[in-house]
Amino acid sequence: MKANEWMNRTEESILHTYQRFPVVLQRGEGAYLYDTDGKKYLDFTAGIAVCALGYNDPEYNQALKDQVDTLLHTSNLFYHEPLAEAGRKLAAASGMSKVFFTNSGTEAIEGALKAAKKYAYTKSGHADWEIVAMEHSFHGRSVGALSVTGTAHYREPFEPLMGGVRFAAFNDLESVKAQITDKTCAVIVEPIQGEGGIYPASQEFLEGLRRLCDEKDILLIFDEIQCGMGRTGKYFAWQWYGVQPDIMTCAKALGSGVPVGAFVLNERAAAASLAPGDHGTTYGGNPFVCAAVSKVFDLYEKRGLLAHVQELTPYLEEKLDTLVEKYGCVAKRRGKGFMQGLVLEGRPVGEVVSKAIDNGLLVISAGGNVLRLVPPLIITKEHIDEMATILEKALAE
Ligand SMILES: *Cc1c(COP(=O)(O)O)cnc(C)c1O
What total of structural domains would you count in the chain?
A: 2
For the stretch 247-260, pLDDT in tens is 999 999 999 999 99
List the catalytic residue out of 89, 98, 117, 252. 252
In-domain check, residue 227: yes
pLDDT of residue 65: 98
Q: What is the pLDDT of residue 296?
A: 99
Q: What is the 3-state secondary structure (H, E, C) of 33-69?
A: EEECCCCEEEECCHHHHCCCCCECCHHHHHHHHHHHH
Active site residue 138: yes
Looking at 256, 274, 303, which one is the last position of a domain? 303
* CB contact at 8 A, 66 and 81: no
pLDDT digits (tens, 9 = 90+) for 348-379: 999 999 999 999 999 999 999 999 999 999 99
In a domain, 197, yes or no: yes
Pair 130, 11 in one domain: no
Flag whether pLDDT at 75 surpasses 90: yes
Do 257 and 349 fall within a single domain? no
pLDDT in the model for residue 325: 98
Same domain, yes or no, for 10 and 135? no
- Residue 50 Cβ contacting ligand 1 at under 6 Å: no
Predicted confidence at residue 310, as pLDDT, reads: 98
238 and 354 assigned to the same domain: no
The amino acid occupying position 150 is G
Distance CA 145, CA 112 (A): 10
In terms of residue numbers, what domain contains 380?
Answer: 3-57+304-396
Nearest 5°: phi and psi at 242? Answer: 65, 25
Q: Summarize the confidence of residues 175-184 as an average pLDDT.
A: 98
Q: How do beta strands 192-193 and 199-200 pair?
A: antiparallel
What would the pLDDT profile of 92-108 be if each residue is shown by its tens digit? 999 999 999 999 999 99
Angle at Cα 365 formed by Cα 191 and Cα 22, nearest 5°? 140
Contact 84, 242 (CB under 8 A): no
Q: Are residues 339 and 209 in the same domain?
A: no
CATH (domain of 277)? 3.40.640.10
From ligand 1's centre to the CA of 386, what distance in Å? 29
Q: Is residue 106 located within the same domain as residue 188?
A: yes
The band of 397, judged by pLDDT with boundaries at 50, 70 and 90, is confident
Residue 65 placed within a domain: no
Report which protein residue has its CA nearest ligand 1's atom 7. 105
Residue type for position 12? E
Active site residue 223: yes
Percent of the chain whose pLDDT exceeds 70: 100
Residue 179: is its pLDDT beyond 90? yes
Same domain? 311 vs 332? yes
Rounded to the nearest whole angstrom, what is the distance from the C-alpha of residue 249 to the centroid of ligand 1? Answer: 9
Q: Taking residues 308-336, what's their average pLDDT?
A: 98
Among 303, 320, 346, residue at a domain's last position: 303
Single residue among 303, 334, 357 that ends a domain in this structure: 303
What's the distance, Cα to Cα, between the start and end of the chain in Å? Answer: 32
Query: Which residue in the list 43, 223, 295, 319 is annotated as catalytic?
Result: 223
Rounded to an integer, what distance in angstroms lies between the CA atom of residue 347 and that of residue 33?
Answer: 27
Question: Is 182 one of the catalytic residues?
Answer: no
Mark whether 283 and 345 lie in a shared domain: no
Mean pLDDT, all residues of the chain: 98
* Residues 296 and 326 placed together within one structural domain of the fold: no
Q: Give domain status of residue 14, yes or no.
A: yes
- Do 289 and 328 belong together in one domain? no
Clarify whether residues 381 and 278 are in a common domain.
no
Q: Do 82 and 287 touch, CB atoms closer than 8 A?
A: yes
Judgement on whether residues 201 and 286 belong to the same structural domain of the protein: yes
pLDDT of residue 136: 97
In a domain, 62, yes or no: no
Whether ligand 1 lies within 6 angstroms of the CB of 149 is answered as no
